[in-house]
Chain A
Amino acid sequence: GENVEQHPSTLSVQEGDSAVIKCTYSDSASNYFPWYKQELGKRPQLIIDIRSNVGEKKDQRIAVTLNKTAKHFSLHITETQPEDSAVYFCAPLIDLGGGADGLTFGKGTHLIIQP
């Protein structure tokens, strides 16, 4: 099956510092790369996504960068705030065979913002 790995599994940063989470994937045909945020006890929610025709996308304090050659993309959060504490999942779109594709989620990164 397709392989999706996230690093690190846990990340603790001081409030106001930056956080970077990396996701590697194995399907070279992937062309859609989203990041989802899941707060404790809540549903996952899309926070940012990027398609393979661009290398970077920003939305206020959040950015995603993509390196298709190396098959990895990263989530960058600047000026971290307590409400950024959550589990973050990458979910590249993977070919599932038979003409179907689907989001394959990484195991998640638990981001802890220290006050």
Chain B
Amino acid sequence: DSGVTQTPKHLITATGQRVTLRCSPRSGDLSVYWYQQSLDQGLQFLIHYYNGEERAKGNILERFSAQQFPDLHSELNLSSLELGDSALYFCASSVGQGAQGANVLTFGAGSRLTVL
């Protein structure tokens, strides 16, 4: 157990639907990152939150949104789902927010989304 908790582990839904993925970071970590991993693809950076504020955006679609709550857990909302959104969505947490300090990411087990 890495200390980063993601729910649900598996989710099957239909095109056009909306889902919410949840992540609880490791105790003491203030940063939460979301990554998308499609088949045969690397880890695509989606978005980064630090202590409740958005810090950086990657290749995140407009249909996707995220937030980090005061208790530091984060949610990734995926709407108007398409077949191509089927992927493994990882959440990772770290203590800090950048290169100044250690930026080791601890990953959760991932949420596997299947869109039919």
| Residues A103 and B45 in contact in the complex (CB < 8 Å), given A32-B103, A43-B110, A93-B99 | yes
- Interface positions, chain B 36-94, Cβ under 8 Å from A, are 41-45, 48, 55-58, 90
**Interface residues in chain A, defined as those with a beta carbon under 8 Å from any beta carbon in chain B:** 31-32, 34, 36, 42-46, 49, 89, 91, 93, 96-98, 100-108
Q: Please name all residues of chain A whose beta carbon is closer than 8 Å to the beta carbon of B109 when the two chains form the complex.
A: 42-43
Please state if A103 and B90 are interface contacts (CB–CB under 8 Å). no
| Residues A108 and B42 in contact in the complex (CB < 8 Å), given A93-B99, A100-B98 | yes
Q: Please name all residues of chain B whose beta carbon is closer than 8 Å to the beta carbon of A32 when the two chains form the complex.
A: 99, 103
25 contacts between A and B (CB under 8 A): A31-B99, A32-B103, A42-B109, A44-B43, A44-B105, A45-B2, A45-B107, A46-B104, A46-B106, A89-B42, A93-B98, A96-B56, A100-B56, A100-B98, A101-B56, A101-B98, A102-B45, A102-B56, A103-B105, A104-B45, A105-B42, A105-B45, A106-B42, A107-B42, A108-B42
| Minimum CB–CB distance for B55 against chain A, Å | 5
A36-B44 Cα distance, complex, nearest whole Å: 14
In the complex, the chain B residue whose C-beta lies closest to that of A9 is: B40
Q: Please name all residues of chain A whose beta carbon is closer than 8 Å to the beta carbon of B97 when the two chains form the complex.
A: 100
The A interface, classified by DSSP as helix, strand, loop or mixed, is: strand
Q: How many residues of B contact A (CB 8 A)?
A: 25
**Interface residues in chain B, defined as those with a beta carbon under 8 Å from any beta carbon in chain A:** 2, 33, 35, 41-45, 48, 55-58, 90, 97-99, 103-110
In the complex, the chain B residue whose C-beta lies closest to that of A97 is: B56
A49-B99 Cα distance, complex, nearest whole Å: 13
A106-B8 Cα distance, complex, nearest whole Å: 26
Q: Please name all residues of chain B whose beta carbon is closer than 8 Å to the beta carbon of A98 when the two chains form the complex.
A: 56
| Interface-centre pick from A36, A44, A106, A108 (highest chain B CB count, 10 A) | A44
